[in-house]
Structure 1
Amino acid sequence: METWEPKNTYALIVGVLDWMDKELTPYTKENRQDRAFEAQLVADGVPEENIVFLEDSEATRDSIISALQNIVKCSHNTLIFYYAGHGIRRGNETFFANYDVNTRQVEKTGFSLTELGRILKGSWKGNRLLLFADCCHSGALASVVKLFEGSDATCAACITSVVASNVSTGRWTFTESLVKAFAGNWVIDTDGDCRLTFYEVDTFIQQEMRFREKQITYAIATKNFNDDFVFRKAEPCSIGKDANGPWKLMEYVECEWHEVWYLAQIIECRENEWKVHYIHYDDSWDEWVDDSRLRKPVGINVQLGDKIEVEWGGKWWKAMVLDIKNYFALIHYDGYGSEWDEWVTNERIRK
């Protein structure tokens, strides 16, 4: 079973939370999780000299390209690329917004995923590529992964905050989940073998983004990237054990409160009772409940081909359902091109 080797890993981390172009909304720098990801890599054993972090004004287009060109020369085993900030889509091209990007001339001033792929495919000679991004349209990193399909020497994978077609929220949920994975959080170890595999990490992040942010995402990997690749050992459970009954620790549920169902998570168990934390509410609302107030989260309530209305920008737009995956429907807006197609949840749909 293949296992990640931190001491043989190089990482380029790009975190941009404000920009020269004031048309791009800045993010708060308090408790920034891109730095937490860097710290976790070091804690895992990645040598500090193997990590390049470009923060905010350091992350100009030229600086990102230069850092990438330099790091690919050094990395002969595992290479990690991570970006947090704004993702911008123009036609079929996606850009990770560098500090000095001009949103009116993105094609000339932005750092494109085509450029990222060109440098990696053309110059990097390592054997494992891990791509992560926390931004709108981050799933477009799949285009870089696909460049390595069929390679005997290199396997590649990306795990991102959302699929290529969709925007992402401004919260750190994705990166916080990534940090938990690299820290060996026991919740991710669903088979209890004390190892966190690529498949388990992907499944965990899908769940966190689905329930906490209502975003759809899934990993993309080359065929030679094994699902049982091990990120690291799992840490032991620190909050108790499951009790007898239908619900498990840290499971997402819906909990009834005053005849309304709210999304919640099981945070403690005891005989015939479960303590829930309501998602996006503070801890003062945590409470013990019995089974009569719990149910599985409700899936998407439309069918393939349905004519519906979808909320976007505070208005309702006519659309049609193109595809369905669990809690999400892929919709096409009437009278608009396919570049506007996106995955939505029940909250944005009416019939």
Structure 2
Amino acid sequence: MRNFVLTLSFCFLALLAVAQPGSGFNPQRTWVFMVGVLEWADANSFPSFEKKGRVDAKIKAFFEKQGVPSQQMVYLKDGQATTQAVREAFVSFLKKAGKDDVLFFYYCGHGYKNDAGKVCFANHKGADWTAEEIVRSVNTHFAGKTAYLTADCCNSGGLAEEAQKYPAKNYAALTSVVPTNVSTGNWTFSNALLYGLQGQNFVDTDGNGRITVGELAAYIDEEMAIAEGQKATYFVPKTMQDQAIATGVPAKKNARIGQRVWADYDGTPWLGFIIGAEKNGSFTVRFYSYTNNETDNVEAARLKPYTCPKNMAVGSPVSVCSATDKKWYPAKVIKKFSCLHFIQYDDYGSEWNEWVAPDNIKVRR
């Protein structure tokens, strides 16, 4: 009997091991460079973020768990991340990799455009560190052809614009917002990125057991549109669209897993998404917040599927609350994505075109 129990236990553990998603990254060939800045020497220009629950540390822990060697990982955070220190560490780091290696680059913090109009990532202190310099450094010093370039900050889409300038390389860029806009102070983008890396089944939109770069990019885009009302930016070359980020992703046990919902709490709706289904018919919901760490078990009757609160047709005349001065202006809808509308102001040039969240658009009367 004891042998039977032991055998059953080992079989159960083996099944658990099989059920765990696999990474699309070969740890021995993966090089991870991360900069996470949540406090700055110039606190007047760059206000600090809450450090509790920081997701950049969780992304680092993910790669450590996958077995990426410590000598192939650099994580500079907060006061460590001066521009001088980051530049020196980055170039030195890139030069160590081989021609078959893969780079994963990540930045979180504040982003901005300098006086020359270039997108910059704000280090703890020091000179501008531009998206242009980052991608150029990768192209110059990294022997491998494949790089994942990710950023969670204002204007981060500038990284995607720079990645497109190197068509001979496999540079995929996933960023939280378009190059011209500010980004949320929440960890929504970084969490969505981590969900894909971990092989969470709600990111596997076609349910085939693998999460591709293209799927992850589309998932992040939808997450940012719905949860934060902003348009993410990504560039994924055709050669990388079907490249796996995670494999062996377990099938959803319920079709509603991943569905975005409103959960009713005494008449107040809270936005979240379903991550699990219970035997009693209730659902586990993870709620959107600063860190997305809050979960609760919610009865099905209290859940209402999320739908876009506003849906203006392309060509519709609308009034828009500008992100620049918070005043309402006449405009026209040019295109749509998810719950966002891309508009052109009636009395201004196309350089002022922007993506608008549902709260900032209404029918013009």
Shift of 1:165: 2.3
> Which of 144, 148, 151 pairs up with 1:126?
144
Q: Does 1:233 align with 2:254?
A: no
Whether 2:163 is the aligned partner of 1:145: answer: yes
**Counterpart selection for 2:90 from 47, 52, 68:** 68
Name the % identity.
29
Tell me the TM-score normalized by structure 2.
0.79
Residues 268 and 70 of structure 1: CA distance in aligned 2, closer, same or farther (over 3 Å)? closer
Written as runs of structure 1 = structure 2, the 5 A alignment for 1:1-351 is 3-22=24-43, 23-76=45-98, 77-90=101-114, 92-101=117-126, 109-149=127-167, 151=168, 154-225=169-240, 227-236=241-250, 241-242=253-254, 248-253=256-261, 263-267=271-275, 275=283, 277=285, 279-280=287-288, 286-289=298-301, 294=305, 296-298=307-309, 300-304=311-315, 306-312=317-323, 315-320=326-331, 321-333=333-345, 340-350=352-362, 351=364
Moved more, 47-56 or 84-93: 84-93
Distance 1:50 1:259, change over 3 A: closer
Distance 1:61 1:283, change over 3 A: closer
2:3 alignment counterpart: none
| 1:141-198: CA deviation from partner (whole Å, max 9, x where unpaired) | 112211221x1xx311011112222211111111112222222212222333322211
Matched pairs, number: 332
- Secondary structure, aligned partner of 2:41: coil
What's the secondary structure of 2:106's corresponding residue? strand
Following TM superposition, by how much is the alpha carbon of 1:61 offset from its aligned partner in structure 2, in angstroms? Answer: 1.1
C-alpha distance in 2, partners of 1:31/1:335? 44
Task: Tell me: CA distance 1:172–1:20, structure 2 relative to 1, closer, same or farther (3 Å).
Answer: same
Shift of 1:261: 7.5
Whether contact under 8 Å (1:276, 1:289) holds in the other structure is no
Secondary structure at 1:210's aligned position in 2?
helix
Distance in 2 separating the partners of 1:268 and 1:100: 43
* Distance (Å, rounded) in 1 between the aligned partners of 2:234 and 2:248: 20
| Cα distance in 2, alignment partners of residues 192 and 300 from structure 1 | 28
CA apart distance, 1:45:
2.1
Note the residue ranges of structure 1 that are not aligned, 5 or more in a row. 102-108
The answer to which of 228-237 and 35-44 deviates more is 228-237
CA pair 284-14 structure 1, distance change in 2 beyond 3 A = closer
Contact 2:322–2:329 under 8 Å retained in 1:
no
Report the AA paired with residue 49 of structure 2. Y
8 Å contact kept, 2:112–2:120 = yes
What is the Cα-based RMSD across aligned positions, in Å? Answer: 3.1
Q: 1:299, 1:326 within 8 Å by CA — same for their partners in 2?
A: no
**Counterparts of 1:280 and 1:78, CA distance in 2:** 32
Q: Distance in 2 between matches of 1:228 and 1:115?
A: 28
Consecutive unaligned residues of structure 2, counting only runs of 5 or more, are 1-22
TM-score by length of 1: 0.82
